[in-house]
Amino acid sequence: MSQATEAAAAAQATTGPATAPPGLPDLLYGETETELRAAVRDLFEDRCGWREVLARSQTAETYDIGLWRVLAAELGCAGLLIPESSGGTGASYREAAVVAEETGRAVAPVPFLGSAVAATAALLAAGDDELLPGLAAGTSTVALAVPFTSPPGARPEPTIRLGVPGDAGYRLSGTVTGIADALPADVLLVPVDGVPYGLYAVTAADASLTPVVSLDMTRQLADLTLADVPARRIASGPAAERAVAAALAAGAAMLAAEQLGLAERCLEITVAYLKERRQFARPIGSFQALKHRVADLWVGVTQARAAARYAAAALAVGDPDTPVAIALAKAACSDIAVRAAQECLQLHGGIGFTWEHPTHLYLKRAKSSSMGFGTADRHRASLAGLVDLPAPP
């Protein structure tokens, strides 16, 4: 068993050091989370350098399936949220958030968010066990067929129709645009219009997926077209609505963790550059104006880390405050990720604007993820309603 898999399995017994006061979530990283982070970071540093990521983003195969198989199967990250009874490690969203942070740090072109988080959350909420063993083993990849911009708390408007069920089972037709992590998927979970509302599983080979030229080609979007294809019903009615809601909530929370990892990496490489770049016979990091900008960025990243960790901790235990925590985390982390990438570009000067530096990869991922699972403004508006803030006059 690999180091990361052992760490994830141990997380079922311990979720971190007992340093938090009673009744409050522990926002610190526990030993198992630290070990998991080290294993994932080692993998990405070995297999996912920014030059390799850039080169792959300019090919037809923008997702690194080989890297995903190692992350999913050999390190066991695809089964973090899946119970041991279904072949998973039985960990929690705290551990999943650590992996998400590292995927953001490396702008890794892997479908961890779509498959190991959103689709898995939907299947767990629906109580469907048929697809979970394959997901846990890393032999199957699943994507939720909703637009990447769909926010939690609002049911995505279905654009897929259910044909009249016959002896051959259910048949689906229609289109869904702008789906994340669908291109490498083996199975698609498709919300379907009708009475009742339903969630169905479709084999990707039976569907038509059209790649879309995306702002962030490390997470390329795709349009889905179904033309009377066979499907299996996962859930219907309120159960289907709960499954989709669980997927969107988990996706937003783990995307916030990914944005945190990206922001931290942008801050790291910016500080390193300011220490080594010299003008007027001194490091430019010694200039007061640049010190202030980096200090402000550090404060923002630190605040975003607290929000992201709280969302992951709340989601892990099903805290009643989870919707508030997710809205706060996604709003804060969306803003700081874009800001950190922008500051990274500007403070690197001329080299930051070129193809010879990874800044553009971070900026594109930051901007596209700021729209994923709801914009910062959308989450702030949701947060106002959740905490009963009065509307402006």
pTM over the 0.85 mark: yes
Residues ≥6 apart with Cβ < 8 Å to 239: 125, 126, 127
Q: What share of the chain is helix, strand, coil (3-state, %, to 5)?
A: 55, 15, 30
| Residues of the chain below pLDDT 70 | 1-23, 165-168, 278, 284-286
CA angle 204, 210, 214 (to 5 degrees): 120
Q: For the chain, which domains are there?
A: 3-140 (1.10.540.10), 160-237 (2.40.110.10), 242-386 (1.20.140.10)
Give me the long-range contacts of 208-217 (CB less than 8 A, separation at least 24): 209/182, 209/183, 211/60, 211/62, 211/183, 212/177, 212/178, 214/368, 215/364, 215/367, 215/368, 216/364, 216/365, 216/367, 216/368, 216/369, 217/57, 217/58, 217/62, 217/364
Residues ≥6 apart with Cβ < 8 Å to 143: 111, 114, 115, 118, 119, 179, 180, 181, 182, 185, 187, 188, 189
Sort strands 221-236 and 198-203 into parallel, antiparallel or unpaired.
Answer: antiparallel
Q: How far, in Å, CA of 125 to CA of 229, rounded?
A: 25
Q: What is the pLDDT of residues 166-188, one digit of tens each?
A: 656 789 999 999 999 999 999 99
Average pLDDT of the chain?
90
Sort strands 170-180 and 160-162 into parallel, antiparallel or unpaired.
Answer: antiparallel
* pLDDT value at residue 286: 65
Identify residue 26 by its one-letter amino acid code.
Answer: D
Dihedral sign computed on CA atoms, order 323, 192, 157, 208: positive
The candidate with the shortest Cα–Cα distance to 97, out of 111, 113, 108, is 113
Q: What is the pLDDT of residues 111-162, one digit of tens each?
A: 999 999 999 999 999 999 999 999 999 999 999 999 999 999 877 777 899 8
* pLDDT value at residue 166: 62
Q: DSSP letters along 30-96, please?
A: -HHHHHHHHHHHHHHHHH--HHHHHHHHTSS--S-HHHHHIIIIIS-GGGTTS-GGGTS----HHHH
